[in-house]
Structure 1
Amino acid sequence: MQKELHPWNWFAPEKSKVLIVGTFPPTTRNWSFDFFYPNKANQFWKVIARISNTELVYQTGELAVEERKSLLRKLHVAITDMGKHILRNDNSSLDENLKIVEYMNIFQILDENPTIQKIIFTSSSGKESAARWFNQFLASHEIKHRFPTGKRPIKSSFQYQDRTIELVVLYSTSPRAANRISFESLVELYKNEITL
């Protein structure tokens, strides 16, 4: 197993209303650019582009990064992952081959971005997932939380200082999850939660 540190921590445009949280970036051999969701097989950026009525032009390099940051600014969406330090088994990008060592400080992101009202998790199934790691992060701060079971979107909330932060679990945009939900349905689910 190899220890890895998150390469970007988080990106939060001014006046972000929503924070999207994944697990951890894929192994670098799958990167097309140096930013969140860099695997071109993942549908995340196609979903975000559709919601913002924008055509993606760049697929690689720094221009692709800037184009994706521009989409997040337009939608007032911040982005991060739950893993700050992880152990990766077998150089695999699968969540089940990741072991959390240190969580991303979600509270710091909320402190620095007081306009965030909602956190969207892009994965919840399996032993290792963004939603499970978030619950473990809260537990490490002596906050008890459990998501209800049921069909996505799964909704909950928690109190952070004087704020009620809405929590939503959606389907993953990864290629593995693509057989569970159509692209159009995925866009509709994310659009409903992102456009406040």
Structure 2
Amino acid sequence: MENKELEIESHPWQPFIPDGAKVLIMGTFPPQAKRWSMDFYYPNRTNDFWKICGLLFLGDKDALLCDDRKTYDIDKIRSLMTEKRIALNDTVRKARRLKGNASDKFLEVIEPVPLFGLLSEMPGCHAVATTGEKAAGIVAALTGTEIPRMGEMTLAAVPPPDASESPVQLEIWRMPSTSRAYPLAVERKAEYYATLFRHLGIL
């Protein structure tokens, strides 16, 4: 089947932008709905993102699970992200799945997110953190920067809404993938994220 015959999927969620957002965390694109355990970012039960947040902010990697331990508590997650001023969105707005799975390797980017437009909605946000290699590559392409090494960051200039103003400096961090397919223990991944959150004064 040629690529043009494959379904083009649109991102299912609006950006999550709490008041006073300090960092925008960006993955690539959500898995298929059949893999969701909830209708929100990082919905796959086996993804490590909410385990990392539970471990770092609440001292328990399972703290954001519902009582049935099969799904995540969206209300608790939204409340925590709002409290910590963490915004969420992905780097791809429209995509094709070339192999019908969630693998970034087989994801064709049709339309990336309008990153600078998104950041204009968060005037206090001067940091973007990508959760994986493909997301890091997309942000690098959008900002004209090099992909940083794992756990490190590079700087980019964000065009201001008003041309008379100076560009805003943006930190672009590359974090480990939170997919369980990435062979790193959740506790080790959490160490990388802890460095980011401490730098931003969130942790």
TM bucket normalised to smaller: 0.7 to 0.9
Give the secondary-structure state (helix, strand or coil) at the position aligned to 1:9: coil
* Equivalent position amino acid for 2:37 in 1: S
Give the secondary-structure state (helix, strand or coil) at the position aligned to 1:2: coil
Q: Deviations over 1:28-63 (max 9, x none)?
A: 1110010000001101001012222162242567x7
Q: Structure 1 residue aligned with 2:176, among 171, 175, 178?
A: 171
1:141 corresponds in structure 2 to none
* Residue 25 of structure 2 corresponds to residue 20 of structure 1: yes
The answer to whether the 8 A contact 2:51-2:186 is kept is no
Q: Deviations over 1:69-126 (max 9, x none)?
A: 11211211001101001111232110011111111111122111111121101111xx
* Residue 86 of structure 2 corresponds to residue 83 of structure 1: no
Distance 1:24 1:130 in 2: 9
Write the mapping of 1:20-169 to structure 2, written as runs, cut at 5 A. 20-53=25-58, 55-58=63-66, 64-124=73-133, 129-138=134-143, 144-148=144-148, 150=149, 152-160=150-158, 161=160, 162-169=167-174
Give the secondary-structure state (helix, strand or coil) at the position aligned to 1:79: strand
Instruction: Work out the number of aligned pairs and report it.
Output: 182
Distance 2:140 2:65 in 1: 37
* Equivalent position amino acid for 1:154 in 2: E
Distance 2:87 2:99 in 1: 30
* Equivalent position amino acid for 1:146 in 2: E
* Alignment gaps of 5+ in structure 1: 139-143
> How much identity, in percent, do the aligned residues show?
28
Distance 1:166 1:31 in 2: 31
Give the secondary-structure state (helix, strand or coil) at the position aligned to 2:100: coil
- TM-score, normalisation: structure 1: 0.86
Q: Deviations over 1:124-173 (max 9, x none)?
A: 1xxxx1011122333xxxxx32124x4x2131010113311101101111
RMSD across aligned C-alpha pairs, in angstroms?
A: 1.7
* Alignment gaps of 5+ in structure 2: 1-5, 161-166
Write the mapping of 1:2-17 to structure 2, written as runs, cut at 5 A. 2-17=7-22
Distance 1:164 1:72, change over 3 A: same
Tell me which stretches of 4 or more aligned residues in structure 1 moved more than 4 Å: none
- TM-score, normalisation: structure 2: 0.83
* Equivalent position amino acid for 2:40 in 1: F
Distance 1:97 1:192 in 2: 30
Distance 1:57 1:90 in 2: 30
* Residue 193 of structure 2 corresponds to residue 185 of structure 1: no
* Equivalent position amino acid for 1:97 in 2: F
